[in-house]
Amino acid sequence: VPTVCILTHFGPFSLSSSGLLLRRACTRFGVRPVLDLFANRYNKQLNRFYSMRPDPMAEGVNALAQTWPTTRVLYANPPWSLITEFLQKVSDEGATVLTVLPVWQAQPWWAEFRRMWAAPPLYLRG
């Protein structure tokens, strides 16, 4: 599963304060995501998004319960408590996702995540 990623040494955060980081990552990886998988109307990075709660502006509720498009790149900054489930969904769907995840090399999901990389990650340092 080709996945391009942004890895961070920061604590949990939202990129909503600046689209600059996402634009930088898109330029670096040569991708243009079309759907923000874990967002709401206030922190969405893209016009199209799935929300964790019902929202009339969202295309769906609960990204993990949706069928993801596999012909376009998606964007995800998942709740870190859902990383394992998120990575399983990426694998199951065969989706290409630009994702933001922490550098937690001791976590059980880390080795599988590394196998998904399509390119070396973009590291954000705190």
pLDDT at position 106 is 94
Quick: pLDDT tens for 71-105.
999 999 999 999 999 999 999 999 999 998 888 89
**What stretches of 1-126 adopt beta strand conformation (E)?**
3-8, 35-39, 49-51, 60-61, 73-76, 96-102, 122-124
pLDDT value of position 9: 52
Do 98 and 76 contact (CB within 8 A), yes or no?
Answer: yes
Structure confidence by residue, pLDDT tens digits, 34-54: 999 999 999 999 999 999 999
In the chain, what are the domain boundaries? Answer: 3-108+116-124
pLDDT category at 18 given cuts 50, 70, 90 is low
CA–CA distance, 59 with 22 (Å, rounded to integer): 21
